Amino acid sequence: MSTAHVLLGLLAERPKHGYELKKEHDHRLAGAKPLAYGQVYATLQRLERDGWAEVTQTQQEGGPERTLYAITDDGRAELDRWLNTVEPSAPYVSGPLFARVAVAGSAADGYLMRQREAHLARMRELTAEKAGGSPARVLAADYALQHLDADLRWIETALARMKEDHDA
């Protein structure tokens, strides 16, 4: 995920300050790792340096000074480029689930069964979270559920292949 592009997308709506950007990031990308304030401000400085965002005003209303940032025309062009770029599929098989099974070989079936149970438990949690959740939370849960479902299908395939190899 490109934090810079996500912040540009949030700035495309209207000028915002760092605190507001952090809150909106964490709300809209529900389920993603929350953004640290330091990362927000470091990213805003890079966006400003690159000409994709600019300071429009500085406010102080009974608290800390807040700097308002706006997206520039160059920033909009970069955001459009990013939004229209197709995400390539991963060129290599990777991930701890696959690595454990590949290394364990025929002894992986116990691990796969435990992983299957863990995935099913997480799917139940995510399904419960969807009830009454915000649209962002529901989308995040749907995304995670579908990835877990794909893992479960692969686990079933791996178990079947291991059984075939054992029976052969």
Across-strand partners of 58?
A: 67
User: How do the pLDDT tens digits run along the chain, 168 residues long?
Assistant: 689 999 999 999 999 999 999 999 998 887 788 899 999 999 999 999 999 999 999 887 777 788 999 999 999 999 999 999 988 877 777 788 888 888 887 788 889 999 999 999 999 999 998 898 888 889 989 999 999 999 999 999 999 988 887 776
- Cα gap 94→52, rounded to integer Å: 34
Query: Is there a contact between 119 and 151 (Cβ–Cβ < 8 Å)?
Result: yes
List the structure tokens of 146: 């579908």
Handedness of CA 8, 12, 15, 18 (dihedral sign): negative
Neighbours of 21 (CB within 10 A): 22
Q: Going by C-beta distance under 8 Å and a sequence separation of 6 or more, which residues neighbour residue 57?
A: 15, 67, 68
Q: Is 66 helix (H, G, I), strand (E, B) or coil?
A: strand
* Nearest-angstrom CA–CA distance, 69 and 91: 37
Who contacts 159 (Cβ-Cβ below 8 Å, separation ≥6)?
Answer: 109, 112, 113
Instruction: Give the model confidence (pLDDT) of 105-133 as tens digits.
Output: 778 888 999 999 999 999 999 999 889 88
pLDDT at position 1, please? 62
Which pLDDT score, from 0 to 100, does residue 61 have? 76
The predicted structure's pLDDT at residue 4: 95
**Can you tell me the distance from the alpha carbon of 25 to that of 30, in angstroms, rounded to the nearest whole number?**
8
